[in-house]
Amino acid sequence: MTGRRRALARHRAWQSFFAGIGLVQVVAQLRPFLEVLYVPKWLSAIAFVASLMLLGRGWLTTRLAIPFSIAVAVVAVGLLSQLGDGLDTRAVALATTFLLTAITSFVIAPQALARGWVRRAVWSGLLWGVTFGVVFGFAGGVLTLPAGLLFRDEQVRFFGLFAHPNLAGTVALTGVVLAGASSVASRRVAPLLAILPMGGALAFADARISVLAATAFVSVFAFLWLWHHRPTARPLVAAVVLASGAVGGYKEVENRLSSRADIEQFASGRLDTWRRSLAYLESPTDWLIGVGLSRNHSFASYTTARLTEARTTGLVGVRGAATDSTYVDMITRTGLIGLTLFLLLVALLGKHAWHGWYVAAMLHMLTESTTFSFGVTLALVVWPLAGSAAVRVALLSRQSARTQA
């Protein structure tokens, strides 16, 4: 076997491996497999990290030491604020998963993804697995109707075999980000075709938060690609951005979304969710450092009676409910200090990666609340992608400076 054939076989083997990881992560979100595949879901996440270690030949990078330290500091603030109230197992579990995510993204992944063939195998493989899982989830949901439908205020949302429409939207958003990553890594347009089934899934599930994030990602992806590869089109691109902003502002005024009642209705009750979450901050100290990693209203424990009361009256948060705001979630868990550190982390990554489209991969953090989650498929994509992109841009900048010198 020639060297070229061996390289192709190696690439296909790793691609198939990562496709399996992506498929398991998606299928584990489907209703019939939630309990059965819970352990494989976490094992696949561990396999993802282990494979990156192997592909990186065991080498770690320290070029993102500052962003990594900031991520650790956010976790430390969340644990510190909970010491007086007592650390529980969930706080320890969340701290562990947050730290694993930071280690994977800023220390392990950049070294592995520095090689082109590794990037192509990882992102294209995950894209295949996630795409198949999304198509299977929605197609299979037709056989289990009406269990995959949600009726609310004359609105119908179809989420197939997934446990919830928003979960289906999150996985589809992952596919959109993967399509962009795979397209850039392979320098081909074909991977972008995966956006079509992902867009269909987002439309059927009507997960507006994920739709917003996907739209922002695609828009910034297209903007940066045109800006870097079509210099003559820059005036046109700038004009389109300004026109879009003007039209958007006009539509907002026309739709009368400036009043509090209209915003409440458009936000589907999220303002009330944010108020309940922020109500846990009862003192200046709470506002400063939060109430702890596991003390957010989304994860508060309730008895069966209180759960029933919560669902009927809507007065208290329900275990498992999402805050639906990264900022509110960060303030509640880690206070204004944690939120400031988090925004600093995003700014540093943006500074490293602004040269490429990769910064668009971090836009989900502005609209999604599952920012640091390690088990969700999204975390297996965005954070390693952002970390590796930052290192690549930093290295290219250094090489360019040396060449000019």
Q: Are 141 and 159 in contact (CB under 8 A)?
A: yes
Domain that holds residue 148: 14-231+280-404
pTM of the model as a whole? 0.85
Residue 120 has pLDDT above 80, yes or no: yes
With b meaning 16 or more CB within 10 Å and e meaning fewer, what string describes 344-361?
ebbeebeebbeebbbbbb
pLDDT of residue 54: 95
Contact between residue 319 and residue 300 where contact means Cβ atoms under 8 Å apart? yes
In a domain, 112, yes or no: yes
Q: What is the pLDDT of residue 69?
A: 95
- Asked if residue 148 belongs to a domain, the reply is yes
Does 259 map to a domain?
no
Q: pLDDT at residue 39 above 70?
A: yes
Domain total for the chain?
Answer: 1
pLDDT at 379: 82
Q: Which of 48-62, 89-103, 344-358, 364-378 has the lowest mean pLDDT?
A: 364-378
Q: Is the pLDDT of residue 308 over 50?
A: no
pLDDT at 389: 83
- What was the pLDDT predicted at 260? 58
Is 258 contained in some domain?
no
Q: How far, in Å, CA of 86 to CA of 93, rounded? A: 14
The per-residue pLDDT of the chain, averaged, comes to 81
Q: Which range among 152-156, 332-336, 388-392 shows the weakest confidence by mean pLDDT?
A: 152-156
Omega cis (within 30) before 32: no
Higher per-residue pLDDT: 182 or 166: 182
All residues at 6 or more sequence positions from 71 whose CB lies less than 8 Å from its CB, including other chains: 98, 99, 101, 102, 106, 345, 372
* pLDDT for res 322: 60
Is residue 240 in some structural domain?
Answer: no
Interval 252-257 mean pLDDT: 58
Q: What is the pLDDT of residue 306?
A: 45
Task: Say if 356 falls within a structural domain.
Answer: yes
Question: Is residue 110 a part of any domain in this protein?
Answer: yes
Q: Is 364 a member of any domain? A: yes
